[in-house]
Amino acid sequence: MAGIVIALPKRIYVSACLICCVYAFNMTNKFATLNLKKTLIGFYSMQYCVSLCAGFLEHLSTHNYYSRGFMGVTQYRRYALTGGIGSGKSTVARMFRDLGAVIIDADAISRELMEPGQEVLARTVNLFGESVLNADGTLNRARLAERIFAHHEEREKLNAIVHPEVRSRAAELVDDAVNSPNFSGIIIDDIPLLVETQRAAEFDGVIAVQTDLPIRLERLSKNRNMSYTEAQARISAQATDQQRSAIARWVITNSGSRDDTQAQVQKVWDELRAEV
């Protein structure tokens, strides 16, 4: 079947290609995912190849295959991991990383973007004033957090600055991951504010981490030196566990032992691997 291949999203290359054999579509969520079981032959090296051949679906997820060179496709899946503050989401992310997942950490990217000399930090200071800076020019995260968690409108303004840049950087990290040797085919985006940013539909599935409230409060007090009132305010400012579970394909309960959590992670991992 003759067709056209277009590269998305950064650069556009168009070339003729030949689909040797295409099997049935795999409908795992609202976005159709194309499962190429045999060979896609192209004349150029392309990113995020999307075939627009006759009879193909109009809406096609670009997560699932990637052209690494002159011939061949590396198929992969991209999932989201979310959980409230103090839920132990970062611990769960490390467990997935140890099993072979590529973790795209939204919080780590945010910290990187807030380093001195970065445009995002400059725009943040423009918005909130130099009072959010330490004497050495670094961001005073505690002072900024105190302001944004107390004022919803200011929090939304900060998110409007940070979130688009986080997504852009995440896309670059995905490119790097897919081109790396021994890639497992599974990328997991660690996104605390997944519900709030309404991004669940961008992924092949959502994994939510939930932990009993008293345990979360204890962790925040012990690990982050927060008062009960401050910890409760931080939790209340985020989406609820019910909202997260409503968008999740998998829910990991992190209120028990580490071994119990690890067993749940392993079970989810086995299911993710089966989808690649």
User: For residues 192 and 84, is the Cβ–Cβ distance under 8 A?
Assistant: yes
Residue 107 makes CB contacts below 8 A (sequence gap 6+) with 190, 192
In DSSP terms, which residues pair with 83 in a beta bridge?
A: 209
The answer on whether 91 is annotated among ligand-binding residues is yes
Dist. CA 268–CA 162, nearest whole Å: 30
Backbone dihedral angles phi then psi of residue 3, each to the nearest 5 degrees: -160, -175
Backbone dihedral angles phi then psi of residue 85, each to the nearest 5 degrees: -60, 130
User: For residues 49 and 63, is the Cβ–Cβ distance under 8 A?
Assistant: no
Length, in residues, of the chain: 276
The answer on whether 88 is annotated among ligand-binding residues is yes
Dist. CA 269–CA 261, nearest whole Å: 12
Question: How many CB atoms are located within 10 Å of the residue 189 CB?
Answer: 25
The answer on whether 86 is annotated among ligand-binding residues is yes
Sequential DSSP letters for 134-195: -TTS-B-HHHHHHHHHH-HHHHHHHHHHHHHHHHHHHHHHHHHHHTSTT--SEEEEE-TTHH
Residue 265 tokens read as 């992670």
Cis peptide before 116 (omega within 30 of 0): no
Q: Which residue numbers belong to the known binding site for ATP?
A: 86-91
Q: Which residue numbers belong to the known binding site?
A: 86-91
